[in-house]
Amino acid sequence: MTTVPSLTGKKLLSTLKKAGFEILRVKGSHHFIRHPDGRSTVVPVHTGETIGPGLFAKILRDCDLNREQFLKLL
């Protein structure tokens, strides 16, 4: 299994934008994003905190991306 570096919410959000996702709305620190084909998820952007491995895996499943595809975008 490929390891993924610790990512902040802001870095994760910018990487998903490269994959075609756009911010729909923001409620507090949670950014709701959606792809034109209908895939959507929520990315928390908390200053100074990294995304945990469980949440990261859930976001990738929601976005229908695997780790290799994500690392290419990174």
Closest CA to 4 of 63, 50, 40, 62: 50
The domain that holds 39 is classified in CATH as: 3.30.920.30
Tell whether 1 is covered by a domain: no
Q: What is the mean pLDDT of each run of 10 residues along the chain (74 residues)?
A: 78 93 95 95 93 92 92 89
The structural domain count of the chain equals 1
Residues 6+ apart with CB under 8 A from 63: 16, 19, 21, 35, 39, 41
Does residue 24 lie within any of the structural domains? yes
DSSP, collapsed to helix, strand or coil, labels residue 59 as helix
Token pair, residue 26, equals 């923001």
Do the domain assignments include residue 16? yes
- 3 in a domain, yes or no? no
Q: How far is CA 28 from the centre of its chain?
A: 17
45 within some domain: yes
Task: Look up the domain containing 59 and give its range.
Answer: 9-73
pTM above 0.85, yes or no: yes
